[in-house]
Amino acid sequence: MMCLRRLASVLVVAGAFHSSVAQAAALTTPALTGPLAANANPFSLDAGDFGNIYVTGAISGLAMFQSNYSQAPGDTQSLIDLTNAQISVQKTEGFFQFYVQAGQYATPSLGLPYQRATTASAAFGAIPVAYAKIAPTDNFNIMAGKLPTLIGAEYTFSFQNINIERGLLWNQEPAISRGVQANYILGPVTFSLSLNDGAYTNKYNQLSGLIAYAVSSTDTISAVGSGVLGTVSNPLAPVANQSVYNLIWTHLDGPWLITPYIQYTEVPTIGAFPSTSSWSGAILANYAFDSNWSLGGRAEYIAQDGGFDPMLYGHDSSALSVTVTPTYQYKVFFARADFSYVRADSPSFFSSQGFPGPGFGRSGDNTDQERVMLEVGILF
């Protein structure tokens, strides 16, 4: 599919770096991993000497049914909701470039209570991504503003990914950070370095870096990491002190896109809260049958060692997930379905003491959750 051919030129750079030449040809921002493909003929405005201004966007909604829903506001057994009503305005050429993405969005994710778009959009505001870019050359640029994270193999918004929902590993990663980022391409190697506020903490003490090496025309290996410089004083926000490290392999060959990766996270001891770490792994894959139909999938496993991590299910807990996503796209229209299953090794201590447990269901003591989602929309 067209989106897979685009991805070949920007493999595993987390949507953060594209040369001005590549962007002018393909509008690779916002990044799409596939199977969905961006509008091949985006709307543009000729701003004279300033250059072309491109306007694109995504409008989509979903219907969902799930088992063992929680007591969280808006989380019900079945619902209909908006997933994207977003517009993107960008300049992709010249010394000065910019990108602004605005609108409303939902960020459905496995293993977490569903948040409706009206609630989820508050996380990063009505303008979730916005940055200015200075590009002295095609191989070097500096970006500043609200930036997509370098961490992980999945993006924040549903239309950007193989699956409608984000995965268990994504739940532990920062999504969007405020800060500054430098990017440099040297032959087959891409370097990115960012000083930012990590998990949107408004504390600019997180250092993130990425090295991506294009081993061949079909394979790229990336090492990614993010660590805190010092500690954030609030012990009730352990994610603010979390370090995250990835090793990602992307294989793109013909109809196949395969991305296995492993992830390690660590939160140091903060006050009375003991240190926590986790190891996890995932395989994301997509097979394009033709220019319209594809089948995507994701399998994950994550295990925690330690006592306090709100992204998992309690002391020394673990979880696994499987997601299958058939997708159909015709020009700018798309329709797809998610069939997902999550199983958590969730202690029932909390619910036995009269408190909601860290698992699924109204009492938090269920260990399984199934979801079926249908998403339809357009990419204009």
pTM exceeding the 0.85 threshold for the entire prediction: yes
- Burial letters 276-312, b for 16+ CB under 10 A, else e: bbbebebebbbebeeeeebbbbbbbebbbebebbebb
In residues, how long is the chain? 380
Four-CA torsion 166, 170, 171, 176, nearest 10 degrees: -100
37 to 66, 128, 150, 266: CA distances (angstroms) = 28, 21, 21, 35
DSSP three-state, residue 328: strand
> What's the CA gap between 206 and 215, in Å, rounded?
29
CB 275 within 8 A of CB 266: yes
CB 198 within 8 A of CB 232: no
Tens digit of each residue's pLDDT, the chain (380 residues): 333 333 333 443 333 333 333 333 448 899 999 899 999 999 999 998 899 999 999 999 999 999 999 999 889 999 999 999 999 999 999 999 999 999 999 999 999 999 999 999 999 999 999 999 999 999 999 999 999 999 999 999 999 999 999 999 999 999 999 999 999 999 999 999 999 999 998 889 999 999 999 999 999 999 999 998 876 655 556 677 889 999 999 999 999 999 999 999 998 877 667 788 899 999 999 999 999 999 999 999 999 887 655 557 877 889 999 999 999 999 999 999 999 999 998 654 444 455 556 789 888 888 999 999 999 999 99
Long-range contacts from 117-123, C-beta under 8 angstroms, 24+ separation: 117/81, 117/82, 117/83, 117/85, 119/73, 119/74, 123/175, 123/200
